[in-house]
């Protein structure tokens, strides 16, 4: 992955906005996508763009968790699902969340993707009548 070759660079991110309407938070990525296109036009390196993108997504995860924690007092976060098979995204998300006082839970014995779903389905089927 191109982002791994650029990890020594200062961590930058793209702009995004989180809006809250009718009880639902939404991440707006229009400005993020526009900046990626501008970086491509400017010839920014193939390592820098994906690294900035991953940093941005990790910051989105953190900001959303902070907003929820402020409302609920919950400071525990489970990072699961296929997106967290991405080691760079998982590592940065954990680092940022821990810096903000969150307790993080990740997979250790069961995969975070469809393999975990299959195991869960097998357990439930075992208890079905």
Where do the structural domains in the chain lie, given as residue ranges? 2-127
| CB of 9 closer than 8 Å to CB of 44 | no
Higher pLDDT, 129 or 11: 11
Give the list of residues 6+ apart from residue 73 with CB closer than 8 angstroms, or none: none
Q: How many residues does the chain have?
A: 129
Does pLDDT of 116 surpass 80? no
Predicted model pTM: 0.82
The one-character DSSP state at 67 is H
Nearest residue to 47 (alpha-carbon basis) of 17, 91, 10, 16: 10
Q: Residue 10 has what pLDDT?
A: 62
Q: Phi first, then psi: what are they for 103, rounded to 5°?
A: -95, 125
Architecture category of domain 2-127 in CATH: 2-Layer Sandwich (3.30)
């Amino acid at each position: 992955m191109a982002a791994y070759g650029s990890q020594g660079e200062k961590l930058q991110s793209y702009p995004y906005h989180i809006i809250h309407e009718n009880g639902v938070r939404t991440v707006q990525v229009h400005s993020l996508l526009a900046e990626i296109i501008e970086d491509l036009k400017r010839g920014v390196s193939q390592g820098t763009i994906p690294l900035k993108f991953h940093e941005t997504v990790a910051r989105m995860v953190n900001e959303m968790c902070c907003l929820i924690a402020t409302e609920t007092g919950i400071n525990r976060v489970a990072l699961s699902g296929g997106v967290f098979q991405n080691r760079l995204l998982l590592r940065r998300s954990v680092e940022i969340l821990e810096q903000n006082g969150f307790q993080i839970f990740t997979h250790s014995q069961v995969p975070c993707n469809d393999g975990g779903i299959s195991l869960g389905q097998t357990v439930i089927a075992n208890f079905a009548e």
